[in-house]
Structure 1
Amino acid sequence: MNRKRFIANSLLGLGALGLTSAVRNSPKYSEHPTQTPPPLKKGDTLAIFAPAGAVFSPQHIKKLETVLLHQGFKVRLAPNLYQQKGYLAGSDQERVATFHALMADQEIKGLIAVRGGFGCARMLPKIDLDLIRQNPKIIMGYSDLTSLLNYITQETGLITYHGPMAYSTWNKFALSEFDAAFKQQKAKRLITLRDAEQYSNKKGKASGKLLGGNLSVITSMLGTSYQPNFKGKILFLEETNEEPYIVDRMLTQLRDAQVFNAVNGIILGKFNNCVAEFPEESLPLKEVFDYHFKELNIPVFGFANFGHVKDKYILDIGRTTEINTENFSFTLL
C-alpha cells in the first residue's frame, strides 16, 4: 500500500469517527529557549553524514567535500556514508550511533546531510536530545531530513537548517547563502521570490517561528509523538514529483488536523514537477491552492526558492520570521 495514501486515509477516517484532531489531540509542548549554533570560521571541521537514504551516487560526496575544502574548512566523512542496507545508509543503530558520535565530537562544528530518501523517522525514538543540547552545532538538510530537523528544534530549541545537501547544486548562489547563514549569521535576512511565478491570498503580514519542510514528511508526522507544535508558527511547505490530487490530499489532511487554524502564516516553496500525467483529468495545482488558501484567514504566498530546486535558500527552523504577501517576501529576524 502507498505509504502516504495509507497515512492520509487513516487520519481522515479518524475525523469521520468524530475523534479529536491531530493538533488538538497532540501532546503538551514545552517551549525551549532558542539557541543558535556558533558561526563558522575558516579551519573549522564540517561532517558529511547520512541519516536517511543509502548513497548510490558517491560522486556527490566527493563533490561536497571538494567544495567545503575550497571554502577553507576541514571535512570529516561519517563512517556509514557508503553503507547500504536496502534503501537505508546502514541500520538504524548504525545511523543513530554515527549521528551521536558526530554531535559529541568537539572538533566538528556542523553536519551536512548527503541526501534524503527515507530513514530519519526511524531514528527519532533513539535520538539523545541531551547530547544535542550540550553540543549545539549546525545540522542541515531537507526532504526526509524534515522530521529530524523539526524534532530537534522543537525538543531542544536549537535552530536547524533546511538547506542544500551533497546531492544538491553547490553554485555561487548556494555558497552565498552558506556564507550569510553560517559565517556572517546576519541579524536579518530578507528573502524574496526569484522567479516570476507567484501565488498569494493577499492577506498581509504575519510573524512567528519558522517550521516546516517537505509536505509529505510533515503530513506523515501528524498524530505521532513527534508531531510539531504548529501553534503560532510560520509553516513552510515544498514538494516534488507528486500529482495535484496527492498534494490536495495531503493539504486536506493538514486542514482536517486543524494545522491551518493553528499557524500564523504559510510560505509555499517550489512544488517541483507536481504536474498531472493526464492534465485533462486533473485540477491545476494553483486551483488546489486556491481551494485551501484563498479564503483562509492567514497570509499565504509562494513560490519561494527552497526544497527540491537548483537554487535554494537556507531556512532557519526555529527562527522568528515575518512574512509579507504584498511584496512576496519574508524576513528571518
Structure 2
Amino acid sequence: MQRRTLIQSMMSTPLLGAAAASAARDSGPLASAGYSSSDSSQKSMGLLRPKRLEAGMTVGLVTPASNAWEDEDIRFAGDVVRSLGFEVKEGKHLYRRTQYLAGPDAARAEDFNQMFADSHVDAVFCLRGGYGTPRILPMIDYGLIRNNPKVLLGYSDITALLNAIYHRSGVMTFHGPIAAQNFTDYTLAEYQKVLVHGERPVPLGAPPPFDTAPGRVEKRNRITRFAGGRARGRLIGGNLSLMTSLVGTPFEPDYRGKILFLEDVSEAPYRVDRMLTQLWLAGKLQQVAGIVFGKFTDAEASGNTFSMEHVLRERTADLGIPVVRGLMIGHVEDQTTVPVGAMAELDGDAGTLVLRESVVS
C-alpha cells in the first residue's frame, strides 16, 4: 500500500496549533515522555555524531511505522543487514502488525527506545516506512538517544523520527535506504562514503546518467537548476508530507539558515503544490538558505494540471535562494544517504550538494 493511501485512511485530526502544542507539553503525552518547554535546544546542547559503521557491529532492526506484508520480507531485511557485514538484533515486537501499523504505538516506541538503551547495539536500521512514526514521537526518549548516539537509518515516514531526534536530541540522523530493500551498487556506494568511510568533502546524490533498473524504461536522470547561487547550512528534510505534518508541533526542526531537502511519492502536482504552499504560508520556506528537491516518483497527474516541474519552480521562484531539483533522494532504487544535521553546501549553478564535514566519529 502506498504511503499516501495509508495517510488518507488515518489522518482525520488536524495539526495541533501553537496553543494546543503548548498545552500538550504541559500536560499529556509530551509531558509524560519527559518533554517540556524548558528543554534546551539542539543548538545549545551541541551536535553529536554517531560512531562510523564497521563490519561486525550489531544493528538493531525496528519497525517504527508500518510492517512488511509477510514475515519472510522481515527475514529478507535481516539478510540484507547481514550482507552489509553486521550482526542483527531484532526488536521484541518486530513481527507484530495492527492493520496498517507495525503493532501498537507503545510497542513500536518500546522497541525503538530499547535499541538505543542496549549497549550491545551499535546502530539502528528501520525495516520500512509506511505510516506511523508521528504517532510515537511523544513516546521517544530523546535524552536516552542524546546519551547513546547511534546511526539511525531510514526514509519516507521515518522522516518524522529523523528530524525530531536531530531537533530534540542534537544527534545526526540519516535519510537513506531501509533494510527491506536491495542495495544497488549506487545506493551501497553512497551509503559507504557517508557512514563507513566518513568522507569529506563529498558530493551527495549526484545522479547516474541513466535509470537501468530491470523492468524500467531507461531514462536520463537530470539536474534542473531553478535558481543559482551558493548557500551553506545544516541539512534538514526528507519526505515532504512528513515535513508538513511536523509544522506547528514540538518536533519540527528549526528551518532558519538550513538547507532543506524534499522528496515524495504518489503525490499529484496539486498536492505537492498544497504542501509547499503550507510551508510557505507558515514562513518556513522563507527561512531556509537553499532547497534541494529529490525525486517525486509515481506522481499521478491527469487532465488540466501543472507539471511537477512547474509547481516546484513556481513555489520557490521568489525566495531568492539557490534551488535545485533531481538529486537521488527519495523513493528510487539508486538512492543517496543524506545526514540530517550535517553542514553542507548547495551550488545552484553547478547543481551540486556537497557534504562539508565528517558525520561519523
3-state SS in 2 of match to 1:144: helix
Q: Residue 216 of structure 2 corresponds to which residue in structure 1?
A: none
After the TM superposition, which segments of 4 or more aligned residues of structure 1 sit over 6 Å from their partners? 3-6
Q: Residue 47 of structure 2 corresponds to which residue in structure 1?
A: 34
Deviation, structure 1 residue 6: 7.4
Q: What are structure 1's unaligned runs of at least 5 residues?
A: 12-25
Separation in 1 of the partners of 2:187 and 2:312? 29
Q: Is the 8 A contact 1:169 1:311 kept in 2?
A: no
Q: Residue 64 of structure 1 corresponds to which residue in structure 2?
A: 77
Moved more, 177-186 or 118-127: 177-186
Aligned residue among 297, 300, 304 for 2:323: 300
Q: Is the 8 A contact 2:81 2:179 kept in 1?
A: no
Deviation, structure 1 residue 290: 2.2
Q: Residue 256 of structure 1 corresponds to which residue in structure 2?
A: 281
- In 2 relative to 1, CA 125–5 (structure 1 residues): closer, same or farther, beyond 3 Å? closer
- In 2 relative to 1, CA 270–127 (structure 1 residues): closer, same or farther, beyond 3 Å? same
Q: Residue 34 of structure 2 corresponds to which residue in structure 1?
A: none
Q: Is the 8 A contact 2:167 2:252 kept in 1?
A: no
Map 1:311-322 onto structure 2 (within 5 A): 311-322=334-345
Q: Does 1:55 align with 2:68?
A: yes
Q: CA RMSD in A?
A: 2.2
Deviation, structure 1 residue 91: 0.9
Q: Residue 228 of structure 1 corresponds to which residue in structure 2?
A: 253
Map 1:110-149 onto structure 2 (within 5 A): 110-149=123-162
Q: Is the 8 A contact 1:60 1:166 kept in 2?
A: no
Separation in 2 of the partners of 1:94 and 1:173? 34
Map 1:1-333 onto structure 2 (within 5 A): 2=8, 7=14, 29-31=41-43, 32-191=45-204, 192-195=206-209, 196-276=221-301, 278=302, 280-333=303-356
Moved more, 295-304 or 54-63: 54-63
Q: Is the 8 A contact 2:255 2:288 kept in 1?
A: yes
Give the percent of matched residue pairs that are identical in Structure 1 and Structure 2.
34
Q: Is the 8 A contact 2:174 2:338 kept in 1?
A: yes
Q: Is the 8 A contact 1:46 1:74 kept in 2?
A: yes
Separation in 1 of the partners of 2:228 and 2:11? 31
The one-letter amino acid of 2:66's match is G
TM-score (norm 1): 0.89
Q: Is the 8 A contact 1:193 1:328 kept in 2?
A: no
Deviation, structure 1 residue 68: 2.6
Q: What are structure 2's unaligned runs of at least 5 residues?
A: 1-6, 18-36, 210-220, 357-361
TM-score (norm 2): 0.82
3-state SS in 1 of match to 2:286: helix
Q: Is the 8 A contact 2:294 2:328 kept in 1?
A: yes
What is the aligned residue count?
316
Separation in 1 of the partners of 2:13 and 2:347? 36
Separation in 1 of the partners of 2:344 and 2:262? 15
